[in-house]
């Protein structure tokens, strides 16, 4: 199998994840885009592991580590999302502007 | 899994399975980011992650594939569905899930995809993966390498996971009726 097949798949999945992160307005759907990007990176790791025949399986081990970090990230992020829902009543990322840096004269 | 370790005549089958799984993954990923039902997005994410697990199997990463099924499909998607439920997400069709920035977002995503695609295809177009006789990353192989070669990162990662869990619990117990 040519190496660029899995790499092409990973690139397209990453681009789809970028689109999801940029276009969705619900925070949970934004997190789904982040998960797609992390999976694309994992495909790269596993593909290069298979190509390099690494004796220590560095690619597969790193893919496992990325999965663990993604699990930690999703746990923390969903806790934050629920907290935002409790305090604001919605989780639409476009309307959460407390930390925005804006001029005093065009403050809403 | 002898899927990846098949002899020469099996190479065509391996490539066909890989292409089919890739098409399923890409189509369902597109549905994840474009569907107008929020719960459907989570369910299409299951299809995407499952076909990526199949791709790991084809690429001789057996343990990673089962961990993907357990952690992602089993835990992460259930967490996402719980978050959708707890934030009272409407289950019907919603036409305002996307921002009004569809065209710029699609432009940026297309540029990212084009840049990555051109780079990897130009860099690795003559490199091949030889899956015949590849060492399958079974639980035994992965466990041996993790606990001989990668012990320190593994332990650091366990501390990170503990810190993340403590942080999640602390965040969800935070009092919101105060001034904080």
pLDDT for the residue B180: 44
**C-beta neighbour count of A1 within 10 angstroms:** 20
For chain B, what are the domain ranges? 8-94+101-136, 138-174
Give dist(CA A28, CA A51) in Å, integer: 35
pLDDT for the residue B172: 82
Beta carbons of B64 and A64 less than 8 Å apart? yes
Q: Give the tens place of pLDDT for each residue, B133-150.
A: 777 888 888 899 999 989
Give dist(CA A51, CA A46) in Å, integer: 9
The CATH code of the domain that includes A36 is 1.10.287.3510
Which of B55, B57, B95, B107 to probe by mutation at the A interface, max A CB count within 10 Å? Answer: B55
Of A17, A24, A78, the CB nearest to B83: A78
Q: Classify residue B160 as exposed, middle or buried by CB count within 10 Å of its CB (0-12, 13-18, 19+).
A: middle
Residue A95 lies in a domain: no
List, in sequence order, every residue forming a beta bridge with B98; answer none if it has no partner: A24
Residue A53 lies in a domain: yes
Residue A101 lies in a domain: no
Residue A13 lies in a domain: yes
pLDDT for the residue A107: 55
CA distance B73 to chain A (A): 11
pLDDT for the residue B7: 46
Give dist(CA A60, CA B62) in Å, integer: 9
Beta carbons of B59 and A50 less than 8 Å apart? yes
Chain A residue numbers with beta carbons less than 8 Å from the beta carbon of B71 are 67-68, 70-71
Residue with tokens 């639409």: A92
Beta carbons of A67 and B68 less than 8 Å apart? yes
Tally the domains of chain A: 1
Give dist(CA A49, CA A82) in Å, integer: 38
In 3D space, the residue among A81, A25, A49, A8 whose CA is nearest the CA of residue B65 turns out to be A49
pLDDT for the residue B6: 44
In 3D space, the residue among A19, A58, A26 whose CA is nearest the CA of residue A40 turns out to be A19
Beta carbons of B113 and A42 less than 8 Å apart? no
List, in sequence order, every residue forming a beta bridge with A2; answer none if it has no partner: B128
Beta carbons of B112 and A14 less than 8 Å apart? yes
Chain A residue numbers with beta carbons less than 8 Å from the beta carbon of B134 are 50, 53
Distance of CA B68 to the CA centre of its chain: 7
pLDDT for the residue A69: 93
CB pairs under 8 A between A and B: 256
- Dihedrals phi, psi of A92, to nearest 5 degrees: -85, 115
The percent of residues in chain B predicted with pLDDT above 70, rounded, is 88
In 3D space, the residue among A56, A6, A58, A3 whose CA is nearest the CA of residue B129 turns out to be A3
Q: How confident is the model at residue A9 (pLDDT cuts 50, 70, 90)?
A: very high
What is the CATH code for B8-94+101-136? 1.20.120.1200
Paired tokens of A98 = 């407390």
Chain A residue numbers with beta carbons less than 8 Å from the beta carbon of B52 are 13, 39, 42-43
Which of A3, A31, A33 to probe by mutation at the B interface, max B CB count within 10 Å? Answer: A3
Of A18, A31, A39, the CB nearest to B49: A39
pLDDT for the residue A103: 65
Give dist(CA A23, CA B143) in Å, integer: 40
Paired tokens of B114 = 């084009």
pLDDT for the residue B80: 92
Average pLDDT over residues B14-28: 94
Paired tokens of B35 = 């569907």
Q: Is the pLDDT of residue A42 over 50?
A: yes
Beta carbons of B64 and A67 less than 8 Å apart? yes
DSSP state of B5: T
Beta carbons of B61 and A63 less than 8 Å apart? yes
Residue with tokens 């369902």: B28
Establish how many alpha carbons lie within 13 A of residue A47's alpha carbon, considering only the half-sphere containing its beta carbon.
24
CA distance A98 to chain B (A): 13
Give dist(CA B66, CA B52) in Å, integer: 11
Prediction ipTM score: 0.87
Full domain range(s) for residue A86: 4-90
Of B4, B80, B157, the CB nearest to A28: B80
Residue A24 lies in a domain: yes
pLDDT for the residue B49: 95
Residue A106 lies in a domain: no
Distance of CA A12 to the CA centre of its chain: 14
Residue A70 lies in a domain: yes
Average pLDDT over residues A35-60: 91
Residue A96 lies in a domain: no
- Between B111 and B127, residue with greater pLDDT: B111
What is the sign of the dihedral through the CA atoms of B137, B142, B148 and B154? positive
> Contact A27/A94 with Cβ under 8 angstroms?
no
Of B4, B52, B109, the CB nearest to A22: B109
> Contact B147/B158 with Cβ under 8 angstroms?
no
Average pLDDT over residues B26-44: 92
Q: Give the tens place of pLDDT for each residue, A52-95.
A: 887 888 899 999 999 999 999 999 999 999 988 988 888 888 78
């Amino acid at each position: 199998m040519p190496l660029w097949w899995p790499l092409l798949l990973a690139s397209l999945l990453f681009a789809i994840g970028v689109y999801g992160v940029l276009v969705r307005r619900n925070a949970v759907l934004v997190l789904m885009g982040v998960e797609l990007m992390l999976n694309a990176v994992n495909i790269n790791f596993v593909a290069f592991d298979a190509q390099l025949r690494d004796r220590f399986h560095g690619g597969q081990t790193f893919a496992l580590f990325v999965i663990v970090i993604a699990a930690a990230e999703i746990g923390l992020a969903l806790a934050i999302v629920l907290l935002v829902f409790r305090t604001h009543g919605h989780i639409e990322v476009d309307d959460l502007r407390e930390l925005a840096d804006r001029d005093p004269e065009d403050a809403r | 899994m002898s899927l990846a370790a098949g002899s020469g005549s099996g190479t065509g089958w391996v490539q066909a399975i890989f292409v089919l799984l890739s098409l399923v993954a890409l189509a369902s990923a597109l549905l994840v980011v474009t569907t107008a039902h929020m719960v459907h997005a989570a369910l299409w994410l299951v299809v995407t992650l499952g076909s990526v697990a199949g791709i790991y199997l084809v690429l001789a990463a057996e343990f990673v594939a089962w961990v993907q099924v357990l952690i992602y499909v089993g835990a992460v998607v259930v967490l996402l569905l719980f978050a959708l439920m707890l934030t009272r997400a409407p289950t019907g069709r919603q036409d305002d899930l996307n921002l009004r920035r569809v065209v710029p977002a699609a432009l940026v995503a297309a540029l990212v995809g084009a840049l990555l695609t051109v780079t990897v295809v130009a860099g690795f177009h003559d490199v091949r993966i030889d899956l015949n006789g590849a060492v399958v990353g079974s639980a035994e192989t992965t466990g041996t390498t993790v606990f001989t070669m990668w012990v320190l990162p593994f332990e650091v990662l366990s501390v990170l996971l503990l810190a993340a869990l403590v942080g999640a619990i602390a965040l969800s117990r935070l009092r919101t009726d105060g001034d904080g």
